[in-house]
Structure formats: C-alpha cells, structure tokens
Amino acid sequence: MICDWHSEWPAPAKLNLFLHVVGRRADGYHLLQTVFRFIDRGDSLRFTPRTDSEIRLSTPLVGVPVDRDLCYRAAMALHAETGCRQGVDIALTKRLPMGGGLGGGSSDAATVLLALNHLWQAGVPRRRLAEIGLALGADVPVFIRGQNAFAEGVGEVLTPVVLSSAYYLVAEPDVEVPTAAVFSAADLRRDTPPISPEAWREGMGGNDLEAVACARFPAVATALASLRRVSPHALMTGSGACVFSSFGSRWEAEAARAALPISLRAWVAAGLPAHPLAELR
C-alpha cells in the first residue's frame, strides 16, 4: 500500500481469542495470557502537516479531554522521543465502540506512532515504538509489532502465532465497560494456571473477565446469551463489552447474525493474517 500524507491509515480492531488472568504483580498490575487476533474492521486516521509545531485533533472524541486522548498522547510521545517539531492535524474516523474490548484506542495510538514515524522520517525502530506504546496502554505494543500473537506479562511479551482463516461475528451491547471496573473487582479470578505459547491451540481457553463483566453490566450478559444461542462457543473479548464467535466461512457467520435479535448491533469481519501496516518502514 502507498503510505503518504494523502493516505487513510488503518487502525484495525483486535479480538482476544482467550484471556486468562494468571497472577498479579506487586504494583497491582495483572499478569495475563491471551491471543490477539487482528480483524478487518476498525478505525482509520488521516494526517495533515502543519506549518507550526502544534499537535491538533481535528475530530476530538466527545467526553475525552485532549490531554487524555491516546492519539494526541502518542503524537506528543513521538515528538518527545525524536525532537521532531513538525506539527500535524490528526483526523480520526471512529468506527469501533469505546469500552468495547476491541482495542480501538490502543490501535489508534499505534497507528499514530507508526504513521508519524514514517511521515516524519523519524527512523525510530519498531522495538522502541512498542516501548513508547506500552507507556500509553498495555495493548498498544501488539498493534505496533503487527503480528497476531500469544501475549504474556501485562500484554507486552509477545510470541507471534499463525492462525487459521476465520470469520468472526461480533455483537456490540449498548454499554461502555470501563476496564478498571472489571480488573478491580474483588471476585475476579486471578489464579488460572498458565500455559506455554507452544501448548496453546485454537479453541483453547476462556475469558476470566467475562463473569465479572456480565455480573456488573447486564447488557453484556444478555448479548452473550443471545450469541451463544446461535453459537455455543461464543466469548467476550477483552474486558468487554463486545462478544464474538468464530466461523469457517462468511456465509455461516452471516447466517448466525441473521438469527440474532434485531435490537442487538452485530457485524461480521474476517480475521487478518497480520496488521495492515506490518511491513511499513
């Protein structure tokens, strides 16, 4: 793909094909194991160079202060890392729900880092971009690394995995789930036995956050129950709110979508073999 100032830059969603909480660090951060899968639905961004050094958001998110916006923070972090003082206007087309467990904000931040590193010709290696991204959010590094991956630690220890072709039916409950509300729950299981990346196979594992999210946000439980009526192996992704199930063909996924309640927003996306910007230099 041609990547320049005229491009629309992709920020794909992710699904957690399983998510286990295997412990907790002394600083309170949870130790996780999961598999991240990129899908062909997501947000997109456009960048316009400025004649000054300002970072401006052309499409600020409602209710999100600029200094907390991950796109803004990512651009400012790259400024700080490189000493670059070229300004930019950032326009975000938001398609993924906030608080949906699809990694939208993290993916947006990663695309900002990847795109501006390329457009500004900053030359920061991906390994360092991933370190910068980790300071913005635990899910940012996987989007920067660009490979579907088995993740450990707080999500930053990544082992690339090759995944089968699949289509995913994703349902969006009408609720935003704050990640902190789920991870801080006293009844969250935090002692699932860890497995090795080599031992994991597609279809293994569940989501340890699911029970907590369903108990505190009934809309998630309702959506999951609806999806499991047409696909018993459905799971929640991340800390919610979205739920999903996998199918071998788009036809099967679309047939399952047609069987869901009309009131439940749902869509079908294909699994990606890698991030669309995985080969960007």
Give the model confidence (pLDDT) of 151-183 as tens digits: 999 888 999 999 999 999 999 999 999 999 999
Report residue 254's pLDDT band, with 50, 70 and 90 as the boundaries.
very high
Report residue 259's pLDDT band, with 50, 70 and 90 as the boundaries.
very high
Tokens describing residue 280: 């960007």
Per-residue pLDDT, 100 = 96
Residue numbers annotated as active site: 14, 139
Asked if the structure places residue 156 within a domain, the reply is: yes
Residues 234 and 125 in one domain: no
* Domain closes at, from 160, 178, 199: 160
Residues 142 and 18 in one domain: yes
Quick one: 34 exposed, middle or buried, by C-beta within 10 A (0-12, 13-18, 19+)?
buried
Cα Rg, the chain, nearest whole Å: 19
The whole-chain average pLDDT of the chain stands at 96
pLDDT at 238 over 80: yes
Residues 172 and 155 in one domain: no
CATH number for the domain harbouring residue 105? 3.30.230.10
* Domain closes at, from 140, 160, 180: 160
Q: What is the pLDDT of residues 45-90, one digit of tens each?
A: 999 999 999 999 999 999 999 999 999 999 999 999 999 989 999 9
Asked if the structure places residue 281 within a domain, the reply is: no
Q: Which residues of 68-87 are buried (b: 16+ CB within 10 A; e: fewer)?
A: ebbbbbbbebbbebbebebb
Residues 47 and 117 in one domain: yes
Asked if the structure places residue 208 within a domain, the reply is: yes
- Domain with 80 in it: 9-160
Selection from 118, 69, 117, 58 nearest residue 92 by Cα = 58
pLDDT at 24 over 80: yes
Instruction: Specify the pTM.
Output: 0.96
Per-residue pLDDT, 205 = 96
Asked if the structure places residue 1 within a domain, the reply is: no
Which DSSP symbol is given to 62?
T
Asked if the structure places residue 277 within a domain, the reply is: no
How many structural domains compose the chain?
Answer: 2
Asked if the structure places residue 245 within a domain, the reply is: yes
Residues 6+ apart with CB under 8 A from 118: 3, 280, 281
Per-residue pLDDT, 2 = 66
Per-residue pLDDT, 29 = 86
Mean pLDDT, rounded, for 118-131: 96
